Structure 1
Amino acid sequence: MINVEVCIDNIESLFTAQRSGAGRIELCSSLALGGLTPSSGLIELAVKHASIPVYTMIRPRDGDFLYSSFEVEMMLKEIHSARSLGVQGVVFGVLNEDAQIDKDILSSLMRESKGLGVTFHRAIDCCSDVHSAVETILTAGCERILTSGLADNAYDGRAVIKQMVKQCEGRLSVMAGAGINSDNVGTVVKETGISEVHLSGKKLRASHMKTITACGKLPEFLSINVTDAENIKTLKSALNTY
């Protein structure tokens, strides 16, 4: 059975994802920026109401994955906080200036994450040597890699994802993400051998405000990005034969 992880950045989407059959939540803020560390309030409420595992993004800013000592300190504190709030796992990725995984920082983050599940995210898709990167992640003890196979989307990267699955030999899970939908998920699963997929399944919904003021006429106040139940259900249906 293929596990479906849904990434969300608001509490409304938690309930939609759960009702629609998600198997795990990746909890973020600012999905429009690729996902950043969520607030403690969102983490606490998500854990309180979740009936499935919640993994928290640990990413202090947008942009690249080359972090300063101050940013690493932030990440360590965010992992500590997320653990205290009851999450089941964390999600992070760290690179050095040569576009390879920073082994020392990864080791520090893994020590702080002891007892939690760890997903190494799509920072791996920015690595100059993906084979070496996978070995580093395996050695560090991560349980999962989220990847698009170094491509813009997982469908285009499915050949590399297949190679990564073969390299891991079941020692950790390779999860395909980026551009996954009901139209392509069957092909990605069949051609790569993965057992997990990742998506937001989001849509724009109109504001529930009854009165639109002058401020409300600005486009950014008229709609909200939320998880769409139909997107998740349709994808789950497409996976019924796998």
Structure 2
Amino acid sequence: MTYIREACVESIEQALVAEENGADRIELCADLDAEGLTPSRELILSAKSHLNIPIRVMIRPRAGDFVYNNAEIKQMASDIAFCKEAGVNGVVLGILKEDKTINIDAVEKLAEIGKPMKFVFHKAIDETPAILESVKSLRDLGVVNGILTSGGENTASEGIQKLKNIIALAGDMEVICAGKITTTNLEELHREINAKAYHGKRIVSGLE
């Protein structure tokens, strides 16, 4: 198997179907209609006890932008500590400043709390003014294990060239390509991009 298929799910039922149909990893969220929020602690524990594949948990306290106040960052820290205790594989989050650049200080603090879990910076990176600069700053920080991105475009297929540039820059970070990737276009995209991981709500069959 040349790449990882990460299924984005919001229930234990979806997670089990994804695992059964060949997903290599789960991103567990609540409320996918709002692009994914932090799931309940019950759901995290249930997924941990039922699944045999790695689970990464979305840490996002509310819908809307990715500029968080101190109370929200405190909530994120508490959720990350819970995930670490629950033994999940990693957490997925993104924090920006008012000017849409990455809030490096907050990322560093939250990554520290989560160690040794995997720490993935999500599609908030697609909103930053200079995506390749953002990738470099995360790479140089040395605490981020992965980036979830569609190359700053609406879909991975529109972002192919940028995704290839991001992979070339990312160093040891895993670039997880996202953006309307499904069972029908995955192989074709992989031939173009040659990434190590792909992410989607329909990345394996049975999740339609």
Segment of structure 1 superposing worse, 13-22 or 132-141: 132-141
**Which residue in the other structure is 1:189 paired with?**
190
2:144 is aligned with what amino acid?
A: C
SS in 1 for 2:78: helix
1:161 match: secondary structure: helix
How many correspondences in the alignment?
206
Q: Secondary structure at the match of 1:52?
A: coil
Counterpart in the other structure of 1:27: 28
Return the letter of the residue paired with 1:42.
L
Tell me which amino acid in the other structure corresponds to 2:70: S
State the distance in 2 between where 1:166 and 1:67 align. 30
Q: C-alpha distance in 1, partners of 2:82/2:132?
A: 33
In angstroms, what is the RMSD of aligned CA positions? 1.5
Q: Give distance in 1, aligned partners of 2:179 and 2:102.
A: 21
Deviation, structure 1 residue 100 = 0.8
- Structure 1 residue 159 corresponds to structure 2 residue 136: no
User: What per-residue deviation string (whole Å, max 9, x for no partner) do you get for residues 106-157 of structure 1?
Assistant: 1111111111011110001001011221012112321111101101111111
Does the Cα contact within 8 Å between 2:18 and 2:207 map onto a contact in 1?
no
Q: Where does residue 109 of structure 1 map in the other structure?
A: 110
Q: Structure 1: which amino acid aligns with 2:206? A: A
* Corresponding position of 1:128: 129
- What code does the residue aligned with 1:14 have? A
Moved over 6 A (4+): none
Asked whether the equivalents of residues 25 and 53 of structure 1 are also in contact (C-alpha less than 8 Å), the reply is yes
CA distance 1:57–1:230, change in 2 (3 Å): closer
Tell me the distance in 1 between the aligned counterparts of 2:183 and 2:20: 17
Secondary structure of the 1:229 match is coil
Q: How high is the sequence identity, in percent, across the aligned residues?
A: 33
Task: Give the letter for the 1:5 counterpart.
Answer: E
Question: Partner of 1:213 in structure 2?
Answer: none
Q: Can you give the 5+ residue segments of structure 1 that lack an aligned partner in the other structure?
A: 203-226, 232-242
Q: What does the per-residue CA deviation read over 1:16-63, in whole Å, with 9 as the maximum and x for residues that have no partner?
A: 011001100101100111000000100000000110001111000011
Distance (Å, rounded) in 2 between the aligned partners of 1:181 and 1:8: 14
The whole-number CA distance in structure 1 between the counterparts of 2:197 and 2:7 is 11
Structure 2 counterparts to residues 75-224 of structure 1, below 5 A: 75-140=76-141, 141-169=143-171, 171-201=172-202
8 A contact 1:144–1:173 mirrored in 2: yes
Change (3 A) 1:200 1:230: closer
Q: CA contact under 8 A between 2:150 and 2:163: conserved in structure 1?
A: yes
Matched letter for residue 192 of structure 1 = I
Structure 2 spans left out of the alignment, 5+ residues:
none
The answer to whether the 8 A contact 1:165-1:193 is kept is no
Residue type matched to 2:18 in 1? Answer: A
Aligned partner of 1:236 in structure 2 is: none
| Counterpart residue number, 1:44 | 45
CA distance in 2 between counterparts of 1:187 and 1:228 reads 16
Q: Deviations over 1:41-87 (max 9, x none)?
A: 00000000110001111000011111111110110001011111221
| Shift, 1:230, TM fit | 7.1
Residue 173 of structure 1: CA displacement?
Answer: 1.2
Matched residues in 1 for 2:100 and 2:176: separation?
A: 21
TM, length-normalised to structure 2:
0.94
Q: CA deviation at 1:189?
A: 1.5
